[in-house]
Amino acid sequence: MKTLALVTSRGSLPIDVDMPLLLKACQTVGLQAQVCDWEDPQVSWGHFDAAVLRSPWNYVEDLPAFLAWCDRVAQRTRLFNPPEVSRWSLDKRYLADLSRHGVPVVPTEFLAPDLPEQASQAALQAFMAGHPQSGEFVIKPTVGAYSRDVQRFPRSAAHQAHRYIVRLQQRGCHVMLQPYLSAIDRDGETNLAFFDGHYSHAIRKSAMLMADGTVHVPTQDLRQARQADAQEQAVAGQALAAAARHLQLQAPLLYARVDLIRDQQGQPRVLELELCEPSLNLPFSDGSALRFAQAIARRVGA
């Protein structure tokens, strides 16, 4: 029986709603799966036939340490998804790469942490001028999870928005600016899950950023099953194909999640591409955990 490490972190495991279903599905397909904390020094990663990144969500606290861990583990066993995928996809500057490949993404401007305040202020003003139909803007660091440090600002609060940009830059963060696409308030966002390059299922996730500054945690009650339409599936597939070309991957990703929202013309655009440790929303689709486990079994030869 092939052995499998399902990688999490101590603090993240209690909120990983996929894990119980995936453990059961792994047993069904003949995989001996064990839940492992990536920070546990007692784990012998080389004893596993493969390791699958599932919920090591505290990586955001020390991304270099997590990426170094990925490199070490990949030398001892097969790591899914591989380190080069995590290194690229855990910093949202990848949106610029997708855009260069022709993928429709949410319009985004990136500001480096060492950009002088006067230059960042000018960049914000130029971005606002370039999106005259947008009454609000989103500012966030390029590395983050679960809406952490994401803020929504009205056009009238440009001064406060710039002060927030500076605060993030002073922490050493690359900062991203995006127009707030109001269709999300009506339609939510669509999160599509893929296994071995094939569409599996989707959910609707309600808007996380409220006009009053409240930021919701994406709990289960803010999600519901949704069937992604043909246009959404096409854009998501385009994004994954672009990622594969950019990273020169020789095989489809074992798992992926593509998050889409509609623009002012109703067209789907990529908000995020989750290729390292995404929640895959397995409780919302019957059979999805089994499909994932079967994809894993094929990769490890079980």
- Residue 71 Cα distances to 26, 50, 65, angstroms: 25, 14, 10
Contacts of range 210-218, beta carbons closer than 8 Å, 24 or more positions apart: 210/152, 211/136, 211/152, 211/154, 213/151, 213/152, 215/147, 215/150, 215/151, 216/147, 217/146, 217/147, 218/146, 218/147
What lies within 8 Å, CB to CB, of 126 at 6+ separation is: none
Scanning the structure block, which residue is given the tokens 């992926």? 256
Catalytic site includes residue 155: no
Q: Locate tokens 């990848």: which residue?
A: 94
**Of the residues 54, 226, 257, 291, which is catalytic?**
257
How far apart (Å, rounded) are the C-alpha atoms in residues 111 and 90?
A: 17
Quote the longest CA-to-CA distance of the chain.
Answer: 61
SS3 32: strand
Is 61 one of the annotated active-site residues of the chain? no
Q: Which of 197, 216, 198 is nearest to 206 (CA)?
A: 216
291 in catalytic set: no
Picking from 89, 71, 87, the residue whose alpha carbon sits closest to that of residue 79 is 71
Q: Strands of the chain (E only): list them.
A: 2-8, 31-37, 50-55, 78-80, 109-111, 136-141, 151-154, 175-179, 189-195, 198-205, 223-226, 255-262, 268-274
Q: Which residue has the tokens 């500012």?
A: 139
Active-site residue, selected from the candidate residues 223, 226, 262, 299: 223
Residue in 189, 232, 274, 277 annotated catalytic:
274
Active site residues: 223, 257, 274
